Amino acid sequence: MKYKPADKIQDLQYFGEFGGVNPSISDSSTYTFLSAKTMFDTFEGNAEGCYLYSRHSSPSNLYLGQALAAMESTETANVSASGMGAISTTLLQLCKSGDHVVSSRTIYGGTYALLKNFFPGLGISTSFVDITDLKQVEAAITKDTKVLYCESVSNPLLEVADLPELSKIAKKHNIPLVVDNTFSPLSITPTKLGTDIVIHSLTKFINGSSDTVGGVVCGTQDFIDSLRNVNDGAGMLLGPTMDSLRAASILKNMRTLHIRVQKHSENALYLAEKFEELGLKTVYPGLKSHPSHELFKSLMNETYGFGGMLTIDAGSKEKANELMELMQERNLGYLAVSLGFYKTLFSAPGSSTSSEISEEEQKEMGLTEGLIRFSIGLDNDIERTFEMMKKCMEETGVL
Ligand SMILES: Cc1ncc(COP(=O)(O)O)c(C=O)c1O
């Protein structure tokens, strides 16, 4: 039985303060107490249903967290001001000086830079591995390893992590498997495949409007309580707090997530098949030619497809740039980073979202100069889009 995350979101029921169909937005940074004793208990974490201060938690943030926990089938969740706010606080909660992380080498450039450049200054080291090579993953684990980290579908190479097998390795070594599921919301439910902690950049598909950044950590009550602890919680002390107004707007956008993901996936599959037919080197997990196509099928929840992300290789950096500029001119999308928007977004990861990764390392992991990453939009007539894209490819000599 596959998980049905959209049903879980649908089943949540909220009433606003005055019976509104949307929960009231908590527009306060601090909260009153009727007794000094309750304030003390709240500080100690013992007063159920009481709010203290909005960096700690707020009703609007808790509502959004509840919906995300339902989606990811975890006990609870903690929202944050950005995806990086969720990633950095989670890793800092789990790792202290002297500890070690085993991470996939194909991850979002910002996460890579955090692990590679920032964490060594705190005494935390990382081994980067080919996440599809399970032997290599296990061999990298040492007695100091505290986290096994990867993305379910990686940015930008769209490698698929074998979560059930990775979770076996993590369990054997008694470390948590932490998975960034930003590229595959609804399609993959990592906790159903053995993952302990799931992270999202809400900035992307989940919010879907490209109007804010946001993040979330979904996990056990114990772990989320530790993140929020007023004495030693990274989520509390480093302060990456989401604003209540934003939490309310993201929650509203989540209600259409299942419809959007289906359309993104449908359009991306159509284009990927057509691009491949034209002879372009196309990477999309929904294509039979994708090395992890069968694995993705075995992991995915039905209905939501293989996601909205695909890549093509335009042959060179110059050709990639020319093609992206022309596609933008013809109103086929925007030359912009990020993903999950209603319009198609395209960028060349080598010189943008993955530029933190050195050229040599990019080459080693198969991130070519001419690679274009597409976040396919919600285009109503994808056949028309394809015909126009094909024309752009012919005019720029990509085809
Ligand atoms: C897979 C993935 N994880 C995390 C992030 C970081 O999220 P944010 O930009 O919301 O901090 C990104 C951003 O591009 C991403 O693509």
pLDDT digits (tens, 9 = 90+) for 267-316: 999 999 999 999 999 999 999 999 999 999 999 998 999 999 999 999 99
Answer yes or no: is the C-beta of 84 below 6 A from any ligand 1 atom.
yes
* Atom number in ligand 1 closest to CA 182: 1
Answer yes or no: is the C-beta of 162 below 6 A from any ligand 1 atom.
no
Residue with tokens 């998980």: 3
| pLDDT(120) > 90 | yes
Answer yes or no: is the C-beta of 108 below 6 A from any ligand 1 atom.
yes
Return the percent helix, strand and coil in the chain, to nearest 5. Answer: 40, 15, 45
Answer yes or no: is the C-beta of 180 below 6 A from any ligand 1 atom.
yes
| pLDDT(257) > 70 | yes
Question: Mean pLDDT, the chain, as a whole number?
Answer: 95
Task: Among 15-24, 110-119, 280-289, 353-362, name the one with the lowest average pLDDT.
Answer: 353-362
Q: Give the per-residue pLDDT at 364.
A: 81
Q: Give the per-residue pLDDT at 353.
A: 74
Residue with tokens 């950096």: 317
Mean pLDDT of 166-176: 98
Q: Give the per-residue pLDDT at 1.
A: 59
Q: Give the per-residue pLDDT at 221.
A: 96
| Pocket residue to mutate for ligand 1, from 108, 150, 157, 337, most atoms within 8 A of Cβ | 108
Q: Give the per-residue pLDDT at 363.
A: 82
* 30 vs 360, residue with greater confidence: 30
Residue 261 has a CB neighbour count (10 Å cut-off) of 25
Which helix (H) or strand (E) element contains residue 128? strand 125-129
Instruction: State the burial class of residue 43 (Cβ atoms within 10 Å of its Cβ: 0-12, 13-18, 19+).
Output: middle
Cα(178) to centroid(ligand 1), Å: 15
Q: Which residues contact 153 (CB under 8 A, 6 or more apart)?
A: 159, 160, 161, 183, 184, 188, 285, 296, 307, 309
How many percent of the chain have pLDDT more than 70? 99
Q: How confident is the model at residue 44 (pLDDT cuts 50, 70, 90)?
A: confident
Instruction: State the burial class of residue 393 (Cβ atoms within 10 Å of its Cβ: 0-12, 13-18, 19+).
Output: buried
| pLDDT(46) > 70 | no
Nearest protein CA to atom 15 of ligand 1, as residue: 108
Q: How confident is the model at residue 243 (pLDDT cuts 50, 70, 90)?
A: very high
* Atom number in ligand 1 closest to CA 337: 14
Q: Tell me the three state secondary structure of residue 135.
A: helix
Q: Give the per-residue pLDDT at 270.
A: 98
pLDDT in tens, 195-240: 999 999 999 999 999 999 999 999 999 999 999 999 999 999 999 9
Task: Give every strand in the sheet of 334-335, ordered side by side.
Answer: 282-283, 309-313, 371-375, 345-347, 334-335
Mean pLDDT of 359-378: 90
Answer yes or no: is the C-beta of 88 below 6 A from any ligand 1 atom.
no
Mean pLDDT of 107-126: 97
| pLDDT(360) > 80 | yes
Instruction: State the burial class of residue 365 (Cβ atoms within 10 Å of its Cβ: 0-12, 13-18, 19+).
Output: middle
CA atoms within 13 A on the CB side of 47: 16
Answer yes or no: is the C-beta of 215 below 6 A from any ligand 1 atom.
yes
Q: CA 196 → CA 212, 217, 371, 394, distances in Å?
A: 27, 11, 32, 47
Can you give the pTM of this predicted structure?
Answer: 0.97
Answer yes or no: is the C-beta of 201 below 6 A from any ligand 1 atom.
yes
Cα(22) to centroid(ligand 1), Å: 28
Answer yes or no: is the C-beta of 151 below 6 A from any ligand 1 atom.
yes
Q: Give the per-residue pLDDT at 2.
A: 80
Nearest protein CA to atom 10 of ligand 1, as residue: 83
Mean pLDDT of 383-388: 98
| pLDDT(48) > 80 | no
Mean pLDDT of 131-156: 97
Nearest protein CA to atom 16 of ligand 1, as residue: 108
Cα(397) to centroid(ligand 1), Å: 32
* DSSP line for 278-345: TT--EE-TTSTTSTTHHHHHHHPPTTSTT-SEEEEE-SSHHHHHHHHHHHHHTTS-EE-S----SS-E
Mean pLDDT of 362-370: 85
Answer yes or no: is the C-beta of 82 below 6 A from any ligand 1 atom.
yes
Answer yes or no: is the C-beta of 349 below 6 A from any ligand 1 atom.
no
Nearest protein CA to atom 7 of ligand 1, as residue: 83
What whole-number distance in Å separates Cα of residue 247 and Cα of residue 245?
5
What whole-number distance in Å separates Cα of residue 98 and Cα of residue 120?
9
Q: Give the per-residue pLDDT at 40.
A: 86
Instruction: State the burial class of residue 31 (Cβ atoms within 10 Å of its Cβ: 0-12, 13-18, 19+).
Output: middle
| Pocket residue to mutate for ligand 1, from 90, 154, 160, 182, most atoms within 8 A of Cβ | 182
Mean pLDDT of 179-190: 98
Q: How confident is the model at residue 355 (pLDDT cuts 50, 70, 90)?
A: confident
